[in-house]
Structure 1
Amino acid sequence: MTFRLALFDIAGTTVSDPGFVAQAFVGAMSAAGHPIDHEACRPLMGYPKPLAIARLLGTQADDPRIAAIHADFVQRMLVCYREWPGIEPLPGAESVFAVLRANGIQVALNTGFSRDIADAIVERLQWSQRIDALIASDEVAQGRPAPDMIHALMQRLRIDDPAQVIKIGDTEVDIGEGRAARVGLVVAVTTGAFTRAELEPYAPDRIIDGLFELPALLGLDASDRDARHAAA
């Protein structure tokens, strides 16, 4: 099978997250009178953030508290991604983007964040010329693990066969999203929320310890020449 699209998660997969997302969750929940600890957030990484908040509250999606907590979370994340130090690509991310594109594979990002946060990350890292597409969970009817974001990107990029898509992420919902969309390859990476042992029960096709392993997994030439050509 010839792959035409590699779809990457953002936080924990392509962008470092030294606890910033959990910190924003803890702050927003605590400010609303619902204190939690950081560990409570970890299993919810990758989910659409309003859904994650509903689960932290132990309530339904129509609970009116969710919107206010989510608005606070968004503002905290925007400050983080626009201003804080430590926001940087994970090792291998930019070079892998370049190698994929040099080999005719489009690169896209998707996320459980809302679009405003996703845009802030791409702007901060100056990635607009390094990727071909970006989509966020609030742009579709259902976020992960539903396949809506993948289907929307396929339509946008004129890809008819999901077997031509690779999904790469660091959480169980990334894996579930890839499976729901029936993509050709689901790759989990251990640089984010879950360890290898925690990812294995969700049965991705492959587990890698860093994005630098992806070109060899796909049988691609990862030479510096290719990377420089794609980045030019």
Structure 2
Amino acid sequence: MVGRKIEAVIFDWAGTVVDYGCFAPVQAFLKAFEKKGITVELEEVRRPMGLLKRDHIKTMLGYARINQLWLERYGHEPDDADIDELYIYFEELLMESLQKFTNPIPGVVELVEKLRQKGMKIGSTTGYTKSMMEVVAYHAKRKGYAPDFMIASDELKAGRPYPYMIFRNLTELDVFPPSAVIKVGDTVSDMQEGKNAGVWSVAVMKGSSELGLTEAEVASLPETVLQARLEQVYQKFKEAGADFIIESIDQLPQVIEDLEHHRDGVVQ
């Protein structure tokens, strides 16, 4: 029996279609906390990746280790004013360097062209704000990537893991039902967003924030070490409810073929 035709693919941005490894926000988060005298770890920065950036900071401040450091330094729980101050630092730092992290991930431009040739619409969601996306989208378009519709996390009542950005995509792209749509992302919050919206959720490992490696590092790591790292990422995505987990973005057409022929499963 032939499955439902996939009508649209909604991509995340950093770590999925641009900025291999999702490095643009990482240094900005690290430096923002440093300005407040708090040293955070890389894993703590990457764990909430994909959320609206103010929510990301609030989540980090809720981690036991960071919260304890804050209490020791300031003598009180971090409040909204503290979150706002950290966010201002973060945004300033990110905007200074964001343009440098807008190169399309290898294979993305060609993939999107193939999807469009098959009649699919291209949407997008992001943890970035509208002002951040003005920079990213402008430079990405000049380098060959532009979705049919884009929405930023601060343009709606709530960002991920809420499904509102995906719902706006479905409306603007005029696509229904959700089962005719795939959400592709590189973070746990991407998968949660997709599941909450009722669309198919596809996780990409190479180039992802969850893997957190540059393209050169992926190419140079011993195969056994790389596979061990990929297995860890795979388990995170599986626990997050990903419908499909692919090693790289160029495997997405196989997922689409499987879905359109009712072959559910995980591609790796």
Do they fold alike, i.e. is TM over 0.5?
yes
Aligned AA for 1:23? Q
Matches within 5 A, 1:99-138: 99-126=114-141, 130-138=146-154
Matches within 5 A, 1:194-205: 194=210, 195-205=233-243
Distance 1:106 1:62 in 2: 42
Q: TM-score, normalised by structure 2?
A: 0.75
1:73 shift after superposition: 1.4
Q: Please report the RMSD computed on the Cα atoms of aligned residues, expressed in angstroms.
A: 2.2
Which of 70, 73, 98 is matched with 1:81 structurally?
Answer: 98
1:11 shift after superposition: 1.1
Which of 54, 66, 77 is matched with 1:50 structurally?
Answer: 54
User: Once the two structures are superposed, what CA deviation does each residue of 1:67-121 show, in whole Å capped at 9, x if it has no partner?
Assistant: 2221221222222122x3x641112111111111111111122111111112211
1:143 shift after superposition: 0.7
1:160 shift after superposition: 3.4
Q: Which residue does 1:26 correspond to in 2? A: 30
Q: Which runs of 5+ in 1 are unaligned?
A: 221-232
Q: What secondary structure, in the 3-state scheme, does the structure 2 residue paired with 1:167 have?
A: strand
Aligned AA for 1:26? L
User: Once the two structures are superposed, what CA deviation does each residue of 1:117-168 show, in whole Å capped at 9, x if it has no partner?
Assistant: 1221111122687320111110111111110101111112222321121100
Contact conserved, 1:51 with 1:61, CA < 8 A, in 2?
A: no
**CA 168–18 in structure 1, closer or farther in 2 if over 3 Å, else same:** closer
Identical aligned pairs, as a percentage?
29
Contact conserved, 1:91 with 1:210, CA < 8 A, in 2?
A: no
Distance 1:138 1:107 in 2: 20
Contact conserved, 1:98 with 1:130, CA < 8 A, in 2?
A: no
Distance 1:122 1:20 in 2: 14
Aligned AA for 1:186? S
Q: TM-score, normalised by structure 1?
A: 0.86
Aligned AA for 2:95? L
Q: Which residue does 1:176 correspond to in 2? A: 192
Distance 1:198 1:119 in 2: 31
Aligned AA for 1:162? P
Q: Which residue does 1:91 correspond to in 2? A: 106
Q: When the two structures are aligned, how many residues end up with a matched partner?
A: 217
**CA 138–62 in structure 1, closer or farther in 2 if over 3 Å, else same:** farther
Which of 9, 23, 29 is matched with 2:12 structurally?
Answer: 9
